[in-house]
Amino acid sequence: MKLKLKIWRQKNSSSPGQFVDYTVDNISPDMSFLEMLDVLNERLIEEGKDPVAFDHDCREGICGTCGMMINGVAHGPLPGTTTCQLHMRHFKDGDTIVIEPFRADTFPVIKDLIVNRNAFDRIIKAGGYISVNTGSAPEANSTRVAKSIADTAFEAAACIGCGACVAQCPNASASLFVAAKIAHLNILPHGQPERRQRTIQMINQMIEEGFGSCSNFRECEAVCPKEISVDFIAFLNKEFIKSIWK
Amino acid sequence: MKISYFYSTPIGKKIVMAVTGIILFIFVLFHMLGNLIIYSGPERYNGYAEHLRKLGEPFLGENQFLWIARTVLLIALILHIHSAWAVSKTSWDARKKPYHVYSPVQLDYAARTMKIGGVIILLFVIYHLAHFTFGFSWAHPNFIKGDVYHNVVVGFSVWWVSAIYIVAQLALAMHLYHGLWSLFQTIGITANKKRDWRRNFAILFALLIAIGNISIPISVLLGIVK
């Protein structure tokens, strides 16, 4: 495959940045999107140029490190997939692909396609601890969890914190991320003691970071690599009311 | 203090927007149903308008129900607009540098036009009040206080006035299509994704209100109501 790439290049957070055109040749349809960028970077390094900086770690779709806007969609055209699990067979020979970093004021660009997602870490930190006994492993049946509750909690816990929800949201809202994180603990018995304070503290941190508000556009669930439902945002809203007035 | 904290958060504002939206929706629904009485002739229609003044008797005096309703609606409207403005500002500030290429996946037209649609509806409401409630001479050619039937027929006989009403009702239908679905989400009521009753509810009432209201100017223009 031969592809034209328009990639956002930005030296650091304070420089303006611009698109640079590249052409890559001999791309196998079985390569992942990141492997395609590796091919480009190897050539750039050989030519003595600065390679394109992008975040990646596990390349198995489970760590949440990679992520970029591919033709205007977070993680690209394939639903329920991280950038590293998107394969070049989903593109056509001769395609032009526009690659841009995730954009939100809360996610400043560090370099090229790498953005700073520490805001998410601060939201997690604001959530605090859960009261569980340390020491030897507890007896497995001492805290019983209904199958349906375990399943729902797991759907929320599948969030890998990649930031695609914020990136794709026209409002740059972190509602889906915060909802998933709050839901996965608030649904389970282990999360009950700190339920209210966790909800309020995480929401306060979300506001303080400067994320946008939810307009129920549902763009977040459309690009979420773990296909987390906006139903969790409804849950978040309900938890918020309960945390204030229960 | 809980109230002020609640309203200081975007989630709190969205919930206020949803609840005031429900109030405004109920008003718009009954406003439409009441106006359909025009099809049963001038006496019944003018009688209905007159009856609204006496609603709630003997517990309430003349016009009292009307003023309570107007006050509630005005407060709901102000809160609806203020919360919408405030959360929009939060969202605009959250991404000051837009994407060069952005392709929404499932964002629909109604959802993305909520803000401009809301402004259009507000401007229409102001015009509508000047036209049929206050009957200002610049807005209505021959306004007779108390003869609601006459005012409606004369008002809608001007084709471009009817056109404004029809366009405004289409904008309202779009606003309701997203709003009536979205409000359930905001107050935490979910549904089965594949058979989402909230979507059907929104489509049903958006269409019902728009068709009911649009039928009146069209009937006047076609000479069915005269």
Quote the pLDDT of residue B164: 98
- Cβ neighbours of B189 in A, within 8 Å: 234
B39 pLDDT higher than 90:
yes
A101 pLDDT higher than 80:
yes
* Surface of B (99-128) touching A: CB under 8 A: 99-107, 111-112, 114
Whether residue B186 and residue A237 make contact (CB cut-off 8 A), yes or no, is yes
A117, B67, B154, B157 from B146: Cα distances, Å: 63, 17, 14, 19
A141 pLDDT higher than 90:
no
- Which pLDDT band holds residue A189 (cuts at 50, 70, 90)? very high
How many Cα neighbours within 13 Å face the side chain of B173?
Answer: 17
A14, B17, B36, B120, B147 from B213: Cα distances, Å: 54, 24, 8, 17, 19
ipTM of the complex: 0.93
SS3 A81: coil
- Which pLDDT band holds residue A110 (cuts at 50, 70, 90)? very high
Q: How far apart are CA A115 and CA A25, in angstroms?
A: 28
Could you write out the DSSP letters of every residue in B148-199?
Answer: HHHHHHHHHHSHHHHHHHHHHHHHHHHHHHHHHHHHHHHTT----STT-HHH
Closest of A174, A199, A167 to residue A121, by C-alpha = A174
The alpha carbon of residue A230 and the mean position of all alpha carbons in its chain are separated, in whole angstroms, by 15
- Which pLDDT band holds residue A212 (cuts at 50, 70, 90)? very high
What would the mean pLDDT of B166-192 be, rounded to a whole number? 96
Distance from CA of B86 to the nearest CA of A (A): 10
Whether residue B102 and residue A210 make contact (CB cut-off 8 A), yes or no, is no
The identity of residue B19, as a single letter, is V
Show the tokens assigned to B125: 């409401």
Facing A212 at nearest CB: one of B95, B178, B186: B95
CA dihedral A66, A68, A70, A72 (to 10 degrees): 150
Facing A98 at nearest CB: one of B11, B13, B101: B101
Whether residue A170 and residue B112 make contact (CB cut-off 8 A), yes or no, is yes
- Which pLDDT band holds residue A23 (cuts at 50, 70, 90)? very high
Taking CB atoms and an 8 Å cut-off, how many pairs form between chains A and B? Answer: 130
Strands (E), chain A: 3-9, 18-24, 69-70, 73-74, 96-100, 109-111, 114-115
Residue A238 near residue A187 (C-beta atoms within 8 A): no
Show the tokens assigned to B39: 């099809």
How many Cα neighbours within 13 Å face the side chain of B67?
Answer: 5
Beta-carbon contacts of residue A58 (< 8 Å; ≥ 6 apart): A65, A84
What would the mean pLDDT of A205-233 be, rounded to a whole number? 97
Quote the pLDDT of residue B194: 83
- CB-based burial of residue B209 (10 Å sphere; 0-12 exposed, 13-18 middle, 19+ buried)? buried
Residue A17 near residue A8 (C-beta atoms within 8 A): yes
How many Cα neighbours within 13 Å face the side chain of B138?
Answer: 3
- Cβ neighbours of B199 in A, within 8 Å: none
Mutate to test the interface with A, among B3, B91, B182 (most CBs of A within 10 A): B91
Beta-carbon contacts of residue B107 (< 8 Å; ≥ 6 apart): A170, A217, A218, A219
The alpha carbon of residue B217 and the mean position of all alpha carbons in its chain are separated, in whole angstroms, by 17
Strand partners, A22: A5
Chain B: residue nearest A237 by CA? Answer: B188
Quote the pLDDT of residue A10: 97
Show the tokens assigned to B17: 């927007």
Q: What is the pTM of this model?
A: 0.94
Residue A172 near residue B94 (C-beta atoms within 8 A): yes
Show the tokens assigned to A151: 């399943």
A154 touches chain B (CB under 8 A): no
Q: What is the pLDDT of residues A36-87, one digit of tens each?
A: 999 999 999 999 999 999 999 999 999 999 999 999 999 999 999 999 999 9
Residue B168 near residue B124 (C-beta atoms within 8 A): yes
Quote the pLDDT of residue A227: 97
- Cβ neighbours of A69 in B, within 8 Å: 99, 101-102
Domain annotation for chain A: domains and CATH numbers: 3-110 (3.10.20.30), 118-245 (1.10.1060.10)
B209 pLDDT higher than 80:
yes
What would the mean pLDDT of B140-161 be, rounded to a whole number? 96
- Cβ neighbours of B100 in A, within 8 Å: 8, 19, 98, 100
- Considering A119-133, B166-180, B182-196, the range whose residues carry the highest mean pLDDT is B166-180
Q: How far apart are CA B43 and CA A53, in angstroms?
A: 76
* Surface of A (75-104) touching B: CB under 8 A: 79, 98, 100, 103-104
- CB-based burial of residue B159 (10 Å sphere; 0-12 exposed, 13-18 middle, 19+ buried)? exposed
